[in-house]
Amino acid sequence: MQALLSVTPGGPETLELTTLPDPTPARGEILVRVRAAGVNFPDTLMIRDLYQIKPPRPFAPGGEIAGEVLSVGEGVADFAPGDRVLALTGHGGFATHLTLKSSTAVKIPDAMPFEDAACFIFTYGTSYHALKDRANLQAGETVLILGAAGGVGSAAIELAKAMGARVIAAVSSEHKATFCQELGADETLIYPRELDRAAQKALSARIKALAGGDGADVVYDAVGGDYAEPALRSIAWGGRYLVVGFPAGIPSIPLNLPLLKGCQITGVFWGASVFRDPAGHARNMQELFRLYGQRKLAPRISARFPLTRAAEAIGLLDRREARGKVVVTMGDM
């Protein structure tokens, strides 16, 4: 098998393509021939030892995969060789083969290509949990999405539209704004790549003008940093502010703001929710597959890289250049 391994902490240039012996599945595990792996922001952090989970080295990044089952370990009854699956792996996905606990794999619909399947669970799982379980988003409400052209952000646009909401997509370039319009965003706004105090005030005013009324009912914040406070200042009375991610840094928020807005600041930790509420997660996955079957969701894959060039895939996210999803494909390697 081949794997792109992180051998020392650092950027994508530190990853090394390595040939390793094929693994065998232990009891309760399945061996998967990986066909595609989705790229996500945590991959950029994990290889630098900046993520909350630090796998022992050497490890391959790649938190979600799709492929076919090659063999099953002792005690596995619900999968058989040939089954097409997707899985949330945490890491290890940038490889041609992978063993994983059978409980973490999900069979995929026949009509779902491996590339779509590898770009499905992480972004749609997170954004559905955020908008449905954490924000209780209602039809007719207005959602502001920060970082709306990224992986979880673009999934949030599609899901919020499918749930009947009005979407304001906030991004850092014209190019990304056009992409969000194509996904169904009702309004777009472009914020600067760096914000000073005046730019923060201008951003707040712009959001309020686009949201109308009191402000946005729900803020989906996948960016953090200096963008968080102006977004919170533009939330409606009784709004829900979803804390999703911090590519721009972890913000500090003056606690008078939630008091003045009568709003909730709500943490979203999808990975933990999957383990704490497996039944709720399974329900959400079935609903997401149904929406995919109805073509209300479709992962927007804007760039594809073979495993030999997977480091470049991580570089796109690093440089804030990715739109929608970036995927690594293994083909017949």
| Site for ligand NAP, rule CB under 6 A | 40-42, 126, 147, 149-153, 171-172, 176, 222-223, 244-248, 268-271, 317, 320, 322
**Tally of residues, the chain:** 333
| 105/87 Cα distance (integer angstroms) | 5
- Contact between residue 120 and residue 88 where contact means Cβ atoms under 8 Å apart: no
Cis ω on the peptide bond leading into residue 299 (within 30° of 0)?
Answer: no
- Identify the DSSP state of 155: H
Closest residue by Cα to residue 141 from 186, 175, 78: 186
- Gap between the Cα atoms of 120 and 107, Å rounded: 13
For the record, the structure tokens of 13 come out as 């240039």
* Position 28, amino acid: G
Is residue 39 within 8 Å of 326, Cβ to Cβ? Answer: yes
Rounded CA separation 309/52 (Å): 26
Q: Which residue has the tokens 């970082």?
A: 147
